[in-house]
Structure 1
Amino acid sequence: MPALPAAFAARMQDQLGQDWPAFTQSLSSPPPVSINYNRAKAAGPLYEGTPVPWNDSGQYLPERPSFTLDPHFHAGRYYVQEAGSMFLAYVLEQLQREQTFRTALDLCGAPGGKTTVLLNALPTDCTVVANEIIKSRYAILKDNLAKWGRANVIATHADGERLAPLARRFDLVVADAPCSGEGLFRKTPEATREWSPENVAICENRQRDIVRQTLPLVAPGGVLIYSTCTYNEGENDQQVAGILEKGDFEALNFELPAEWGITPTRFGYQFYPHRTRSEGFYLAVLRKSGTPAGRVSKAPLRYFSKAPGATEQAVAPWLDPNSSLALLTTPKGQLYAVPKEGLPLLGALSQSLSKIDPGTPVGVMKGKQLVPDHALSLSLHLHSDLPVAALDEEEALAFLRKAPLPPRAGQKGWHLMQYQGWGIGWGKLLPNRINNYFPNYLRVRMSAP
């Protein structure tokens, strides 16, 4: 790790006091490796490891494996995630003891870790919006959401100003604000080299803008969760203090086991790497005053429309008939399966946003036949009678590399390519070969170690 910037070191010595030597020593140790299991795709741990104490689907691994060469990773059975950020799971567990969430927004969603925690923790009738402003990161967000397999999520690509018409729509808003990245120094050396007091000031101003745009989106009685991966008060407690000064929010506190090592602050919780098995992380929970309004008014869909009856019939053999999904189409013919309870929020989003990817991308029609989207192969809403081609580990890796697979006697047509019971893509089986429809941009290029 590069040498710590002098200004950062001076401030942290003052902030930590006698803990400063332990903190610096922790930055020289290997970062812990942790994953968050997809509760719908992994009933129990897939690997040896130890639990993350604040998230019952989180696990520390003894060493970092090659996730790229693990078919379980490509099937969306877990997400590689820093343990501190999984604290969101514990917070949601506590909140749901007395509050029900029907709409949630992950404002700064990419690459998708916080959204997968939301999808794990919230009920399936809660519609989760995952937003990302940066185009390249939005593509990564969509891929990770597809792996999770849930249809009750809507991906959006917009800045906070474009979301303004959604005021008071969300019972829960998570704002994992872009920050100076002090908590990533051990894990990301570039963060150390890029740090400066000037950059911290820029981040503080950007966070104030994000907060200003975010507060109106929270419904009366709703919850705002603000987080960063940094240590300094200007990006953490002082941002929360600015929210509380407006008078519409109150900070919430939870009892935490002392052995977790999480440090309470004035308004939130701080993770330090010498006290917890995590990187640096900060989180605060605030509740907005007022009484929840109940059901919100419906808004008509723009851009999306109900798929024609013939298309619904063609798609029916692909989707679980017991799932309450509406099949929507776009002017370009892209099909999406969206939970019916999510349509009112999708309608509101479609009134003001131009880039929306709702639910599960299903595919496109070619004549009277469906050409399935890769995301559909990862869905939790597939028809149980779909033809399946079971792959062992060697075959699964060959498929992910788009290497040739031998033909299968007696099998033909579209098949879900499965590894240990979970889809990783589509193949079209022909008498003399298998056409591999795994996306080229996702193709595994790494060789076995």
Structure 2
Amino acid sequence: MTDTSFLPIDFINRMEQDLGPDFHAFLRSYEENKISALRFNPIKADAAVIENCKDMLTGKVEWSNYGYYYDDENSRPGLHPYHQAGVYYIQDASAQLPVEMLCPQPGDYCLDLCAAPGGKSTQIAGYLMGEGLLVSNEPMKNRAKILSENVERLGITNAIVTSEYPDKLAAAFPEYFDRIMVDAPCSGEGMFRKNHDACGEWSLDSVKMCADRQADILDRAYEMLIPGGRLCYSTCTFAKLEDEEAVAAFVERHPDVTVIEERRLWPHEVKGEGHYAALLEKADDGRSEECREARSLAKIKQPNKKEIADFLEFKKGFSKEEKLSAQLMDEGVIKNILQLKDLLYLLPENAPDITGLHVLRGGLFLGTLKKNRFEPSHALALALKKDEYCNVFDMASSDIQTQNYLKGQSIMADVKDGWTLITVDGYSLGWGKASKGQIKNHYPKGLRLL
């Protein structure tokens, strides 16, 4: 008999009423082990890396273009160098559905309104492929920091990470975005199987409280959606009040919104913890192009070339093989460089005006100007491809030197003196600085393996 003693009795009673004959199959899913999945990052990954990972993969996630299940009993993908290199993101299979439904396209202006820890933001970025704009927002400051770290790890160059409540963001971006992802804070019923402690925070009152908050978030998202734009609303809960009923109420408040598709994944029917998602479209009233033309642009004071001379010297080490390095080598790149004291950022093309917003990441952090030198950032290393920098040292993922590098140790290697891009199987991992046959380690101390 299935042990469901950890489940709240009010939850059990409601699910029995909602599911009818499927209720017992739903309950039996709680005695099954959780099924783990990851999603490859198309900004970096290719067919070769999937082949390299085949021993830990157990099957394809049918609703996700880049999602795969993995064997978590015999593999630890979170400790593999590919994880540190941003080649993949560990994410429940069910949670990969909403962005697939949203289907962002290169060039779209996208918003992930409740984005931490970053699964859906990094998935959106994989579809944008560096074209267009992604604003990833997380109101909770501590969670926003984790979001920013994941955006960095996956080598995303066209993202701005903010930490604001939806009302302030809506005031800054009226009718601005082509695609909006609202993975709303919810009662988290889909987490009960893998996190029994979540049951202790649940009640029927908390479901109602979440539904009220979700209604406000959706209304603010509506204000930021361009006419003709699409919004995907999702939760990891099973409560109709937070899902189907929340969407129905939203459409009633906004008659110009149409439900394109609704999907629900149940843990007793699929390999995953369960998810709800609804794809919505705002009617195009003929003003979409007008709204696009009215988009605000960042007000950037162009850096003084003399002040950033060390960076201009450093960037001579780039090649023109790929988009990012070609952009950095272009003389006109200076118009997109934001200098904040000794820190340099590369803003996305046509970056918005973010004055007055709490911004954790205003684009790609390039590095720091220090006395008589420029120190490139870890974010820049992760955004580069192997062929984009002149001095590269590549290691195999199985090489002991790779583990030593991730632990902060120096590497003995015969490479040209100076900054060196360290890669694993061709995927960027971090920086080192070579001198006389030794590469001094510049992998961030906070990320090093113990």
Q: TM-score, normalised by structure 2?
A: 0.87
Q: Partner of 1:207 in structure 2?
A: 214
CA–CA separation in structure 1 for the residues paired with 2:359 and 2:347 = 16
* Alignment partner, residue 377 of structure 1: 381
State how far apart, in whole Å, the 1-side matches of 2:317 and 2:114 are.
32
Shift of 1:125: 2.1
- Equivalent position of 1:309 in the other structure: 305
* Aligned twin of 2:100: 90
- Given that 1:390 and 1:419 are in contact with CA atoms closer than 8 Å, whether structure 2 keeps it comes out as yes
Return closer, same or farther for 1:318/1:242 CA change in 2, 3 Å cut-off: farther
Q: Does 1:330 align with 2:324?
A: no
- For 2:44, the equivalent position in structure 1 comes to 41
Q: 1:52 aligns with which of 50, 58, 61?
A: 61
Which letter does structure 2 place at the counterpart of 1:313? L
Q: Is the 8 A contact 2:215 2:250 kept in 1?
A: no
Distance (whole Å) between structure 1 residues aligned to residue 107 and residue 155 of structure 2: 20
Is 1:412 aligned with 2:417?
A: yes
Q: Is the 8 A contact 1:319 1:382 kept in 2?
A: no
Specify whether residues 410 and 197 from structure 1 end up closer, same or farther in structure 2 by C-alpha distance, changes over 3 A only: closer
Q: 1:406 Cα deviation (Å)?
A: 4.2
CA distance in 1, matches of 2:415, 2:319: 25
For residues 267 and 70 of structure 2, the distance between their equivalents in structure 1, rounded to whole angstroms, comes to: 17
Distance 1:421 1:11 in 2: 52
Which residue in the other structure is 1:256 paired with? none
Return the alpha-carbon distance in structure 1 between the equivalents of residues 297 and 107 of structure 2. 23
**In structure 1, how many angstroms separate the alpha carbons of the residues matched to 2:149 and 2:67?**
21
Structure 2 CA distance for aligned equivalents of residues 318 and 379 of structure 1: 15
Question: Paired residue for 1:107?
Answer: 113
| Aligned match of 1:261 | none
CA offset digits 1:18-75 (Å, max 9, x no partner): 1111111111111111110011222122323211111121111133522342000000
Specify whether residues 406 and 114 from structure 1 end up closer, same or farther in structure 2 by C-alpha distance, changes over 3 A only.
closer
Q: Does the residue aligned with 1:351 lie in a helix, a strand or coil?
A: coil
Deviates more, 1:155-164 or 1:280-289: 155-164
Judging changes above 3 Å, is the alpha-carbon distance between structure 1 residues 12 and 298 closer, same or farther for their aligned structure 2 residues?
closer
Task: Give the CA deviation at 1:368.
Answer: 4.2
Specify the alignment match of 2:34 in structure 1: 31
* Corresponding letter in the other structure for 1:42: A
Higher mean C-alpha displacement, 412-421 vs 329-338: 329-338
Deviations 1:108-162 (A, max 9, x none): 1111100111112235322111111111111111111112212121111211122
Return the offset for 1:315: 4.2
CA distance in 1, matches of 2:228, 2:318: 36
Superposition deviation, residue 369 in structure 1: 2.5
For the pair 1:390 / 2:394, whether they are aligned, the reply is: yes
Kindly indicate whether the alpha-carbon contact (under 8 Å) linking 1:33 and 1:82 is maintained by their aligned counterparts in 2. Answer: yes
Local SS of the residue matching 2:388: coil
Aligned equivalents of 2:250 and 2:96: distance in 1?
24
1:297 to 2:280 alignment: no
Aligned identity (percent) is: 31
Note the C-alpha offset of 1:170.
0.5
Taking the aligned partners of 1:175 and 1:248, their CA distance within structure 2 comes to 18
Confirm or deny: 8 A CA contact 2:110 2:135 kept in the other structure. Answer: yes
Q: Distance in 1 between matches of 2:101 and 2:357?
A: 30
- Whether the 8 Å CA contact 1:169–1:296 is kept in 2: the answer is no
Q: Give the deviation of 1:181 after TM superposition.
A: 0.4
* Structure 1 residues 410 and 215, CA gap change in structure 2 (3 angstroms): closer
Q: Is the aligned partner of 1:251 residue 2:254? A: no
**Structure 1 residue 194: Cα displacement:** 1.7
The match for 2:86 among 43, 51, 76 is: 76
Paired residue type of 1:113 = G
Which residue does the alignment assign to 1:133?
139
**Alpha-carbon offset, residue 165 of structure 1:** 2.3
Q: 2:243 aligns with which of 236, 243, 247?
A: 236
CA shift digits 1:341-396 (9 cap, x unpaired)? x32x2x2xx23313241322110122342201111110046762331122343212
Preserved CA contact (<8 Å) 1:105 1:129: yes
CA drift of 1:166 comes to 0.6
Letter in 2 for 1:301: A
Partner residue of 1:287 out of 278, 281, 284: 281
Q: Where does structure 1 lack aligned partners over 5 or more consecutive residues?
A: 254-267
Number of residue pairs matched? 420
TM-score by length of 1: 0.87
Using the alignment, how far apart are the partners of 1:228 and 1:320 within structure 2?
Answer: 43
Other structure's SS at 1:55 match: coil
User: Do 2:102 and 2:179's aligned partners in 1 also have CA atoms closer than 8 Å?
Assistant: no
Q: In 1, distance between residues paired with 2:46 and 2:128?
A: 17
